[in-house]
Amino acid sequence: MTRRGNALQALIAGLRGSPADRTDWHAVIALANRTLLTPDLFSSLKRAGQIHRLPQDVREYLRFVHDCNRERNLRLRAQLLEAVAALNRHGIVPLLLKGAVPLFLSPARRAPSRMTSDLDLAVEPGEEAAAQACLEELGYVEVARGRGMVRQQDAGMLELRARRANGFDPPRLVQRNGLRVNIPPAQARALHWIVHDLLKEGDYWRGRIDLRHLHDLAQLAKSDQVDWTALQASMSDRGARNALDTQLLALHHFFGIRIPAKCARRPIVRFQHWRRIFTATHPIIGAPLRLAGNLTWGTWRFLRADGSSRGGSSDVARRIARTLLIPSAKI
């Protein structure tokens, strides 16, 4: 196996609480840093009582990154609670998305180890303007291209969007310390990560794996009863179902999560799974496969672009090129 493959295997073992013997920890840390999983690696090994098996310098580095991320997450949670309180005062109960969910649900004196880049909230379409005005009263300003709202003193950006129906059970109302939020059901949270990565970001075609989000799915599957069969039935077409099953095969491959047996029946799904694993563990000889996937995805996005949309097709082409060229946290 390649050096990358050995590092990936060792990182997965660490995330599962079982550090591998004779590990090249420099390579593992480099991969953990790239995939934004360093704090999770430390917390998984500590929770399993295995952190003592690491060399002292490795333990100290992982602890340092974990503690820095903890302080940032505490600041993000304070920012989230302030925003929720302001929205509640205006009669708005936001729907928390992605990393905002564990930030809100974690105990007061603890913070999740997950690295969270920003805060994602959704409100009813008719409440969007009022919610934005409410946040502007707190000092938030909208960034260019409407990708979120920021304040200079905060640890991260806050992204506000309109809530969309997903066909699953309604969100659960959660009240804590006088604050009210809606939490999506497990299936909806899983669907959000899968659709975002494999379809919106093109990972299904490009042969990439967002290991942090795959770890999120594994944690979600362990803590909640995710009905993968219902999730499969919710996909709009065969291509989307193929993408879902490909992600579920990766979830089983890396983290041992039980998935429906029918996920591996279709040859295209088995091929896509093999391609993603091969390019992740053999980045050099797998480069032609990755290039072919990038070109396929870029061409598909360009052909589907609406020339009347913002910036026109030339802007779409620039954004596709920028996405393909910018270094990614994915493998």
Residue predicted with more confidence, 182 or 235: 182
**CB count, 10 Å around CB of 305?**
18
Tens digits of residue pLDDT in 99-122:
999 999 998 778 899 999 899 999
Contact 86, 135 (CB under 8 A): yes
User: What is this structure's pTM?
Assistant: 0.89
The confidence score (pLDDT) of residue 327 equals: 60
The confidence score (pLDDT) of residue 1 equals: 63
Taking CA atoms, 99 is separated from 96, 103, 132, 277, in Å, by: 8, 7, 20, 26
Q: What are the residue ranges spanned by the domains of the chain?
A: 1-54, 70-184, 185-331
**Beta bridge partner(s), residue 150:** 141
Min mean pLDDT across 5-9, 97-101, 144-148, 156-160 is at: 144-148
Tokens of 185: 């059901």
Rounded-to-integer distance, Cα 168 and Cα 27, Å: 41
- Work out the percent of the chain whose per-residue pLDDT is above 70: 92
Burial bucket for residue 124 (CB in 10 Å: 0-12, 13-18, 19+): middle
Strand segments, DSSP code E, in the chain are 95-97, 118-123, 141-142, 149-150, 157-162, 172-176, 179-183
Instruction: Say whether pLDDT at 90 is over 70.
Output: yes
Rounded-to-integer distance, Cα 134 and Cα 163, Å: 17
Residue predicted with more confidence, 235 or 61: 61
Tens digits of residue pLDDT in 165-206:
776 778 999 999 999 999 999 999 999 899 999 999 999 999
Phi and psi, residue 9, nearest 5°: -60, -40
In angstroms and rounded to an integer, the radius of gyration of the C-alpha atoms of the chain is: 20
Tens digits of residue pLDDT in 241-285:
999 999 999 999 999 999 999 998 999 999 999 999 999 999 889
Residues in the chain: 331
Overall average pLDDT of the 62-83 stretch: 97
Fold of 70-184: Beta Polymerase; domain 2 (3.30.460)
| % helix, strand, coil for the chain, step of 5 | 60, 10, 30
**CB count, 10 Å around CB of 318?**
11
